[in-house]
Amino acid sequence: MFNLQVTSTTMQLLALACLCLLTRSGTTFADEHEPVTIKVNKMSDVILPCSLGTNEDIESKLFVWKKSGQKAVFYYDEHDGFGLGRFKGRVSHFPDGLKYGNASIIIRNTKLSDSGNYICDFPRLQPRQKFHIQLVVEPLILKVKKGRDVVLPCSLSSKENIEFKRFDWKKDGQKKVFLYDVGTHYNNGRAGQAWQFKGRVSHFPDELKYGNASITIRNTKVIDSGVYTCDFPDLQPSQIINIQLVVVVVGGECFH
């Protein structure tokens, strides 16, 4: 099994490198029962590689991407490709690569729920060809030295204005860190914030119009370590971003 680590926004060159692992001249993937595994940090972009070993032009061919064998992800046929279902708006292909048999796709702003087994299928080819990818989306991990400030990122991929929306930050699923609801929040009179975070958490008011719900925690403490969720409960479908914060006491670098 191959293991590919992807920890930042990916580029087309990465797709071409991945294809070398997937293809053998004139053949399908060597073992459909042992998929290539790709790991990526949540909220990063990731390329799922898929290419015909013959490098033949597929601009007029049909190929379909599915998740776990059932959920539609991406459909391409006769010079037109588009994302499907909850992947709509987040998935695209490489038009310039089609002439070389490249059916790879990019999934942007990955979520934990994107983890799973993906199939790239050429149903009309004889023999039929399928490529299998296992995607593992891991929580974003931030490390900060005790006493430093840290920004926990959270943003809608659509970049829509959230000044009149609601977003809710919690720690370990229960502690109320920061709640914004159509202009009211814990720093302008709203009650309910956990004592641990009182006076230490703020958002970015000027960035709300761009879908940015990030927060800053000032003067971090060891007890701040944990898993944070940024939730947009009123959106359909709802969107939740998970971040693991690790506050270190001594030694090591401070990572933001």
Q: For 107-158, write each residue's pLDDT tens digit.
A: 988 888 899 999 999 988 888 888 999 999 988 889 999 999 999 999 887 7
pLDDT at 188: 93
pLDDT at 7: 43
CATH H-level superfamily of 3-138? Immunoglobulins (2.60.40.10)
Torsion of CA 90, 180, 209, 46, to 10 degrees: -20
List of the chain residues with pLDDT < 70 = 1-34, 69, 237-238, 251-256
CATH C-level class of 140-248: mainly beta
Task: Give the strand order in the sheet containing 3-6.
Answer: 3-6, 36-41, 129-138, 116-122, 62-67, 71-77, 81-83
Q: Specify whether the CB–CB gap between 48 and 136 falls below 8 A.
A: no
Same fold for the pair 3-138 and 140-248: yes
pLDDT at 251: 60
Domain boundaries, the chain: 3-138, 140-248
- What is the chain's mean pLDDT, rounded? 83
pLDDT at 85: 82
Closest of 211, 242, 249, 215 to residue 226, by C-alpha = 242
pLDDT at 70: 75
Q: For 72-82, write each residue's pLDDT tens digit.
A: 899 998 778 88
